């Protein structure tokens, strides 16, 4: 059965800190791993990772996939209060590339 | 605000009521999705429609009935719900095609409370 586990479940940091969020997965016929940010209600897409060891970067956010360890990390450097959100990890199911299976998410709170 | 809208944004209903959730996308996509997000549980895919045809039903109870009259509109008809169905219901759309992931764009969701 497909499984996506995220850790930690929640995290509170101060502005300026660097955080690392973890995602591990078990899925039949791995295609890719997605990261989403959910601030209020609508999740917004961050990254799609398909190849091991290649870092994707967008501003202060970066992510990398380790297919050997069946995991991915999402790093946020110099955190700001606007980074407070739930960060979701997802993998496509066996039934289709767009049929996503999500983890429970990591709730990040950045305090001033 | 994204190109995916949902109405209503909040809904309170009794277990004997019948109501419908509506989703509309203005992005020219051909795939639409319903997700359920309950407290402390992962975001769960419920239904997938590709070119108005349902292609995925993740063991959703029959008290949830989806309808996709065209590629821009998606409905979720609700009847005889249970209190445990209270959740945030999110709609999403995406381009369709290929074996790789196509980014999904989410609506703001409908917060449903079943009394």
Phi, psi angles (nearest 5°) of residue B27: -110, 0
A40-87 pLDDT tens trace:
888 999 999 999 999 999 999 999 999 999 999 999 999 999 999 999
Which residues are CB-neighbours of A76 under 8 A, at least 6 positions away? A18, A19, A21, A60, A61, A83, A108
Instruction: Look at A102 and B43 and tell me if their CB atoms are within 8 Å.
Output: yes
Asked whether the beta carbons of B43 and B35 are under 8 A apart, the reply is yes
**What are the residue ranges of helices labelled H in chain B?**
none
Instruction: Look at B108 and A42 and tell me if their CB atoms are within 8 Å.
Output: yes
Alpha-carbon dihedral sign for residues B12, B86, B6, B65: negative
- Is the pLDDT confidence value at B1 over 70? no
| Mean pLDDT rounded to a whole number for chain B | 92
Distance from CA of B91 to the nearest CA of A (A): 9
**In chain A, whose CA is at the least distance from the CA of B1?**
A42
């Amino acid at each position: 059965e497909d499984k996506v586990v995220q850790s930690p479940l929640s995290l509170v940091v101060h502005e300026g800190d660097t955080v690392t969020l973890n995602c591990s997965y078990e899925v039949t016929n791995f295609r890719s791993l997605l990261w989403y940010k959910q601030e209020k209600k609508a999740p917004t897409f961050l990254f799609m990772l398909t190849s091991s060891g290649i870092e994707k970067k967008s501003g202060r956010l970066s992510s990398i996939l380790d297919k050997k360890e069946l995991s991915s990390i999402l790093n946020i450097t110099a955190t700001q209060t606007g980074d407070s959100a739930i960060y979701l990890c997802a993998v496509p199911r066996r039934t289709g590339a767009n049929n996503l299976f999500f983890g429970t998410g990591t709730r990040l709170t950045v305090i001033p | 605000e994204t190109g995916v809208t949902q109405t209503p944004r909040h809904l309170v209903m009794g277990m004997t009521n019948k109501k419908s959730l509506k989703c509309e996308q203005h992005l020219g996509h051909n795939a639409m999705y319903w997700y359920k997000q309950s407290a402390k549980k992962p975001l769960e895919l419920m239904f997938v429609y590709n070119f108005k045809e349902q292609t995925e039903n993740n063991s959703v109870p029959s008290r949830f009935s989806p309808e996709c009259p065209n590629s821009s509109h998606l409905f979720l008809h609700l009847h005889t719900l249970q209190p445990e169905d209270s959740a945030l219901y999110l709609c999403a759309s995406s381009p369709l095609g290929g074996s790789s992931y196509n980014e999904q764009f989410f609506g703001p969701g409908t917060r449903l409370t079943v009394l």
